[in-house]
Structure 1
Amino acid sequence: MGVLLPDSILRNELIAVLAAFVAINTIVYVTLAVAKILPKLYLRDHLSARNRRSETRSIDPDAPI
């Protein structure tokens, strides 16, 4: 016998579907929370720099490239 509900209710198929939905929903929200905590990754930072200028066009001649 269950603590709050009888065993017959806890073994119901509808309760099993509801428990699976809650489990999947929890995993999705935990994944979103962890993704929000981590720093953002930009694809351009990891691609080659062939589209960047070889020399600066700044007014300051000693500016970094």
Structure 2
Amino acid sequence: MPRWGNPEGGEFHATDFGGIVEEERTFGGYTIPSKLRIGWYFGSDRFATEGEFFRCAIDDAVYR
């Protein structure tokens, strides 16, 4: 999905952005993404080397 930004630090422009769901887990009967990698240049080799800037792991979920 194109996202407006300036990952190279220059002029703002639309750049491919996305993420990978590496794992799913079930909490309270609901299955949700539990391990993700997010960043710029999604779908290209640059994602792994330059674009990825966020990783998270969900260890527990409480629904209210």
Q: TM-score, normalised by structure 1?
A: 0.18
Tell me which protein shows more helix as a share of its residues: 1
Greater RCO (CA < 8 Å, at least 6 residues apart):
2
Q: TM-score, normalised by structure 2?
A: 0.18
Tell me which protein shows more strand as a share of its residues: 2
